[in-house]
Chain A
Amino acid sequence: DQQVKQNSPSLSVQEGRISILNCDYTNSMFDYFLWYKKYPAEGPTFLISISSIKDKNEDGRFTVFLNKSAKHLSLHIVPSQPGDSAVYFCAAVIPLSDMRFGAGTRLTVKP
């Protein structure tokens, strides 16, 4: 069962524009959400997180928005840079219990 879904397998954006990556979840017990970035042949690296008590968290060019009622979160990258080209995974956590990942979205930022 896919409790965390990233419905767009790929996204292509022009350099300097905004990239928006989406993630939906089904289990209302998820309390904490993370985004990871993964380059080919490397392990994922943590990018940004958000707790369910917040609806927005910002870190430089990266902002994560959480809409609990819609069970939806999104990652905004502004402005997008070619070095941002990677696969992005969202993850949802039930503390001390479970952690589920989405299938990933491949972002390509074109110069």
Chain B
Amino acid sequence: KAGVTQTPRYLIKTRGQQVTLSCSPISGHRSVSWYQQTPGQGLQFLFEYFSETQRNKGNFPGRFSGRQFSNSRSEMNVSTLELGDSALYLCASSLARDQETQYFGPGTRLLVL
């Protein structure tokens, strides 16, 4: 089975721009979660989608949004980028909603200049 894939792997943007990141979960997995990893804050939960519905949301501003498609692929969008948005964005998928069996992708490293 192919693992979780994320595109692009690396991205450079400037302040004020917007960005869309993509995540393809493991085949058959219906839950997709997004996380932000920064050196200072560690891993922070952004949101979780299950069957195209956002079921849980972390403590991030409305500039961070996402969606899930009928094939379980998910996209995350960040608008009006700020320097502090520079981070590794990780996507994880699972069959249902079980953090133990979450499988993480390699991440998208975003640099905001």
B26 at the binding interface (Cβ < 8 Å): no
Q: Whose C-beta in chain A lies nearest to the C-beta of B9? A: A41
Summarize A's interface: helix, strand, loop or mixed. strand
- Collect the chain B residues with CB atoms within 8 Å of residue A34's CB: 99-100
Q: Report the Cα distance A45→B55, complex, angstroms.
A: 22
CB within 8 Å for A49 and B100 given contacts A43-B92, A43-B105, A44-B90: yes
Instruction: Decide if A46 touches B42 in the complex (CB within 8 Å).
Output: no
Q: Is the CB of B101 within 8 A of A104?
A: no
Residue of B nearest to A93 (CB): B99
Query: B104 to chain A: which residues have CB within 8 Å?
Result: 42-45
Q: Kindly identify which residue among A6, A97, A103 contacts B56, using a CB–CB cutoff of 8 Å.
A: A97
Question: Given the known A-B contacts A101-B43, A101-B44, are A42 and B106 also in contact in the complex, defined by CB atoms under 8 Å?
Answer: yes
Question: Nearest-CB distance from A75 to chain B (Å)?
Answer: 15
- For chain B, the count of residues having a C-beta within 8 Å of the partner chain is 22
B46-60 toward A: CB 8 Å interface, digit per residue (1/0)?
000000000110100
Complex CA distance for A41 and B88, rounded to whole angstroms: 10
B102 in contact (CB, < 8 A): yes
- Quick one: which of A2, A101, A102 has the most chain B CB within 10 A? A101
**Distance (Å) between the CB of A23 and the closest chain B CB?**
11
A89: B residues at CB distance < 8 A: 42-43
Is B40 located at the chain interface by the 8 A CB criterion?
yes
**A70 beta carbon closer than 8 Å to chain B:** no
Distance between B2 CB and nearest chain A CB, rounded to angstroms:
14
With A and B bound together, what is the CA distance between A69 and B99 in angstroms?
24
Which residues of chain B in 41-94 are interfacial with respect to chain A, using CB atoms and an 8 Å cutoff? 41-45, 55-56, 58, 90, 92
A residues with a Cβ closer than 8 A to B are 2, 6, 32, 34, 36, 41-46, 49, 89, 91, 93, 96-104
Q: Could you show 16 A-B contacts with beta carbons less than 8 Å apart?
A: A34-B99, A34-B100, A42-B106, A43-B4, A43-B90, A43-B103, A44-B90, A46-B102, A91-B99, A96-B55, A97-B56, A98-B45, A98-B58, A99-B99, A101-B35, A101-B45
